[in-house]
């Protein structure tokens, strides 16, 4: 197939490279990394798949530069405030283009499906440890499983073709009838560990779990309840299995924490906000989720205020240091 990968971060670069490896024609839309990727391609260093230099068929700054519309446009950017996903896709797709969204979060497809009602929407969920260490430099640490399915459900021929290509390239490419349920399953882990890693000031998964296991469990159980009430019942043991597997994996720094420490926008709304709104819609009690969501919003506001103060020192509040409370 003729493919366009939008975004040359860790996810787009890695999965784009795998598709190129299997003989597909893969172009990339790069923004800040354009010059480097144009000149040198993308170098993948992988512990499990070996090294590979991915030379895209074309490297463009805007999809308008492409001569032909792709069969599939893979949107591989984080779902965060300021990311104009619809705008990026509008330039990239034609009548027959399938839109492939690879990202974290709940209900991230709705906006895209509404904007492009005549295009097939394929939703993808990555389970992988991969990092962009520099422009065009990707370090693949572990895993790689990619789940793919049509939104809101089903498995099309293109889903099968993509999943098969990833399998051929050496990772688990899984076509699923219900990608939305899979998103809720992943959210069980994400909604707990991502925000807690930020609100704790940088703790890894093991520190969080070993000191606040009951709190982690309460958040996970609320996600399971919201998913079920939204028509996506999850296995009864999913919470305990998530906790057990997290104890087994190496102490892990979440992607939200990495973004937070780098001063980048976080996937708070995609992962937590959308889950909270889904819970409110169906009237499920989610006090722990509401608390964590409220605190993440406060934390993001705090970061904005801190940046402003760094930029332009403000006088301390009239009462700064007081003991009224």
* Other residues' Cβ atoms within 10 Å of the Cβ of residue 62: 11
Of the candidate residues 32, 62, 68, 306, the single one contacting a copy of itself (CB under 8 A)? 306
Q: Which residue has the tokens 């934390």?
A: 299
Contact between 166 and a copy of itself by CB under 8 A: the answer reads: no
Choose between 115 and 243: whose C-beta lies nearer to a copy of itself: 243
Helices (H) and strands (E) in the chain, counts: 13, 10
Q: Which two tokens stand for residue 205?
A: 């998964």
Of the candidate residues 82, 117, 315, 316, the single one contacting a copy of itself (CB under 8 A)? 316
What three-state secondary structure class fits 228?
Answer: helix
Q: Which two tokens stand for residue 176?
A: 């699923």
Name the minimum Å distance from CB 292 to a copy of itself: 6
Whether the Cβ atoms of residue 153 and residue 183 lie closer than 8 Å to each other? no
Whether the Cβ atoms of residue 188 and residue 265 lie closer than 8 Å to each other? no
Choose between 8 and 119: whose C-beta lies nearer to a copy of itself: 8
Contact between 275 and a copy of itself by CB under 8 A: the answer reads: no
What three-state secondary structure class fits 215?
Answer: helix
Contact between 131 and a copy of itself by CB under 8 A: the answer reads: yes
Of the candidate residues 93, 208, 220, 227, the single one contacting a copy of itself (CB under 8 A)? 208
Dist. CA 311–CA 86, nearest whole Å: 32
Choose between 158 and 217: whose C-beta lies nearer to a copy of itself: 217
What three-state secondary structure class fits 119?
Answer: coil
Name the minimum Å distance from CB 251 to a copy of itself: 5
* Partners of residue 99 on adjacent β-strands: 73, 121
Contact between 323 and a copy of itself by CB under 8 A: the answer reads: yes
Only one of the segments 51-59, 65-73, 83-91, 286-294 lies at the binding site for a copy of itself (rule: CB under 8 A); that segment is 286-294
Q: Which residue has the tokens 């070993």?
A: 210
Q: Which of residues 243-272 bind a copy of itself (CB under 8 A)?
A: 249-255, 258
Of how many residues is the chain composed? 325
Binding site for a copy of itself (CB under 8 A): 10-11, 104, 126-131, 133, 141-143, 186, 189-190, 193-194, 196, 199-204, 207-208, 211-212, 214-215, 218, 249-255, 258, 287-288, 290-292, 294-295, 297-299, 301-303, 305-306, 316-325
């Amino acid at each position: 197939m003729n493919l366009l990968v939008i975004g040359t971060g860790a996810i787009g670069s890695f999965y784009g490279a795998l598709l190129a490896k299997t003989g597909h024609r893969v172009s990339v839309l790069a923004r800040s990394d354009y010059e480097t990727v144009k000149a040198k391609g993308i170098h993948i260093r992988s512990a499990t798949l070996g090294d590979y230099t991915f030379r895209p068929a074309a490297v463009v700054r805007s999809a308008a530069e492409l001569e032909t519309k792709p069969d599939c446009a893979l949107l591989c950017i984080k779902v965060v405030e300021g990311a104009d996903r619809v705008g990026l896709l509008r330039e990239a797709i034609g009548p027959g283009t399938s839109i492939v969204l690879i990202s974290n979060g709940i209900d991230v497809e709705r906006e895209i499906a509404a904007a492009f009602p005549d295009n097939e929407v394929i939703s993808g969920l990555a389970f992988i440890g991969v990092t962009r260490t520099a422009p065009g430099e990707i370090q693949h640490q572990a895993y790689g499983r990619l789940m793919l399915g049509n939104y809101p459900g089903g498995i099309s021929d293109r889903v099968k073709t993509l999943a098969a290509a990833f399998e051929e390239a050496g990772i688990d490419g899984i076509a699923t009838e219900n990608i939305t349920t899979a998103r809720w399953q992943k959210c069980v882990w994400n909604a707990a560990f991502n925000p807690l890693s930020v609100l704790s000031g940088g703790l890894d998964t093991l520190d969080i779990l070993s000191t606040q296991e009951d709190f982690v469990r309460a958040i996970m159980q609320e996600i399971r309840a919201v998913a079920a009430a939204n028509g996506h019942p999850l296995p009864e043991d999913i919470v305990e299995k998530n906790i057990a597997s997290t104890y087994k994996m190496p102490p892990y720094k979440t992607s939200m924490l990495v973004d937070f420490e780098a001063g980048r926008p976080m996937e708070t709304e995609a992962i937590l906000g959308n889950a909270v709104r889904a819970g409110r819609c169906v009237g499920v009690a989610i006090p722990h989720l509401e608390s964590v969501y409220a605190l993440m919003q406060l934390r993001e506001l705090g970061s904005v205020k801190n940046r402003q103060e760094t930029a332009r020192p403000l006088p301390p509040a009239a009462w700064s240091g007081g003991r009224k409370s």
